[in-house]
Amino acid sequence: LAQRASDDPHSPVVAGAIVNVTGDVAGLGNVFTLDGDVERAWGAAAAAARDVAGGIPLVGWEAGASVAAAVSAGCELIGPLSVWLK
């Protein structure tokens, strides 16, 4: 996903995110913005991801300020991430 500075398709990208649709869920992550307003970026990214993913649940893993921004965008904090190595 990319948000441009204006409606001109050649204007610079100023914010964006990655959406990965896999099976019954869509991953949303790597949310970024050049202006530092991560709450606004998360809100826009979550809304666009819902459109792209067709209503399936969004999941993600975040840390630091991105957690609070995701929660303020309507995401639900469900717990820590566990990574298993075999």
- With vertex at residue 53, the alpha carbon angle to CA 47 and CA 58, rounded to the nearest 5 degrees, is 70
pLDDT of residue 35: 95
Cα–Cα distance for residue pair 55/39, rounded to 1 Å: 21
Q: Which pLDDT value is given to residue 80? A: 81
pLDDT at 84 over 90: no
pLDDT tens-place string over residues 22-60: 889 999 999 999 999 999 999 999 999 999 998 899 888
Contact 32, 3 (CB under 8 A): no
- In the chain, the percentage of residues whose pLDDT exceeds 90 is 59
